[in-house]
A = this chain, B = another copy of it.
Amino acid sequence: MQLHKLYSSLAIRNENKIVLLVIDGLGGMSHKDYGYKTELEYANHPNLDRLALRGTTGMLTPILPGVTPGSGPAHLGLFGLDPISFNIGRGVLEALGIGIVPEPTDVLARGNFCTVDEEGVIIDRRAGRIPTHICEQRLALLRDVRLPQADMELHAVQDHRFVLRLKGAGLASDIDNTDPGVVGARPKPANALTQQAETTASIVNTFVEQAFDRLKGQSAANALVLRGFSMLPDIPSFRELYRLRSAALALYPMYKGLARTVGMDILECLETHWDQYDYFFIHYKYTDSCGEDGDFLSKVNHIEAVDGCIDSLIRLDPAVLAITGDHSTPAGLKSHSWHPVPLLLVSSTCRMDGSTAFTENVCARGALGNIESKYLMGLLLGHALRLDKFGA
């Protein structure tokens, strides 16, 4: 049985509230410039440490040992959905990132403007990273493209990047990238990987041909490539799955979008809606951004900023409070990584494990052990007494 269906089959309603605080990219790596400590070990976070005394700790492995997750699968795991079965494609994620929540029948692709020479050969894959307003101007040239059997939307993202959204009946996304991935080659025609996707691929090719016509003559950003053709996976909502009225507090569109895909409402403020929901997902982004920038000390500062807000969560007195990350983003790697993420769970129903701090090395020895992220949902529901007994 799939994990979420098992949890779902046991889910019961009660009054106990769950708060999940996701500190994006929380986990780090021993950094040689900072005494071989991680950002979390280096930071001063007395409130989190005090909370650890009251709780139980462990480690979350986002996907499997050694595997670095993208933001999509990392969050689906935290939501109790096996991130390998429920993969979210690049096109869908890009759309979520600009606030578009696709319909299940839409096909989405990430588009890049590029520059080609007179022969149509790519000479700059990012079109000199044109500013976003030029990207918008180019997209304006394409608005009157008309496609057979599908409607089309184009949305600028940032710089040379945009989203192509195809809307219609019977669309399919098993289509290979048109991006050859290198300079010195022509954009490839859209190639259906399954018979089912042949019509969609031919619609995409019509779009590309008309787009090339309209972009001809521009000195830069005079062509485009598409990749990550994808559809929203058929994801059940938290209400259906876990009988939870759920809501999210997030600043960045991508995380709002991920939350919406599992049926969460988006809130501006938690306190004023406290009575209306059972489960709150709070997403804190800046730790990840600083990690991606390789800025160890800024990540440390943001961890300390989060620590300063912990008391406001405690005051709400949720039945279960869990604090973790979606994945690690060590400043030393300037990217997401495979390292497991520390987890702290506080509840009147937890088994206090004597953890005296909230760090990677304490959590790695915590009583919850090292588990895949997809099991967190079960722990949250369990500690909230929201899972019925399995079997007689």
A237 within 8 A of B: no
Contact partner of A6 (CB less than 8 A), chosen from B84, B89, B351, B369, is B84
The answer to whether B66 touches A382 (Cβ under 8 A) is: yes
Contact partner of A83 (CB less than 8 A), chosen from B369, B370, B391, is B391
Q: Taking A351-B30, A370-B369 as contacts, is the C-beta distance between A382 and B338 under 8 angstroms?
A: yes
**A69-81 Cβ-contact flags toward B at 8 Å (1 or 0):** 1111100000000
Which A153-191 residues sit within 8 Å CB-CB of chain B?
A: none
Contact partner of A390 (CB less than 8 A), chosen from B10, B29, B69, B351, is B69
A249 within 8 A of B: no
Chain B binder among A42-50, A141-149, A357-365: A357-365
Contacts of A337 in B (CB 8 A): 349, 382
Which A277-332 residues sit within 8 Å CB-CB of chain B?
A: 332
A28 within 8 A of B: yes
Contact partner of A387 (CB less than 8 A), chosen from B6, B72, B338, B354, is B338
Q: Taking A66-B383, A389-B68 as contacts, is the C-beta distance between A339 and B361 under 8 angstroms?
A: no
Contacts of A390 in B (CB 8 A): 63, 67-70, 73, 83
Q: Which of A6, A29, A67, A379 has the most CB of B within 10 A?
A: A67
The answer to whether B391 touches A66 (Cβ under 8 A) is: no
A228 within 8 A of B: yes
The answer to whether A67 touches B392 (Cβ under 8 A) is: no
The answer to whether A66 touches B361 (Cβ under 8 A) is: no
A87 within 8 A of B: yes
Contacts of A67 in B (CB 8 A): 6-7, 10, 378, 382, 387, 390
Least CB distance, A157 to chain B, in whole angstroms: 13
A367 within 8 A of B: yes
A340 to B350, CA, bound (A): 11
Contacts of A340 in B (CB 8 A): 367, 369
The answer to whether B65 touches A387 (Cβ under 8 A) is: no
Least CB distance, A85 to chain B, in whole angstroms: 9
Contact partner of A375 (CB less than 8 A), chosen from B66, B84, B367, B375, is B66
A64 within 8 A of B: yes
A10 to B338, CA, bound (A): 12
Closest chain B residue to A86 by CB distance? B391
Contact partner of A392 (CB less than 8 A), chosen from B90, B335, B360, is B90
A residues in contact (CB < 8 Å) with B = 1, 3, 6-7, 10, 27-30, 32, 36, 38, 59, 63-73, 83-84, 87-90, 93-94, 228, 332-333, 335-340, 348-354, 360-361, 364-371, 375-383, 385, 387-392
> What would 8 A/B residue contacts be, using CB atoms closer than 8 Å?
A32-B348, A65-B378, A66-B382, A68-B382, A69-B391, A336-B389, A364-B366, A370-B370
Rank and list the top 4 A-B pairs by shortest CB-CB distance, nearest first.
Answer: A66-B378, A66-B382, A369-B370, A364-B367
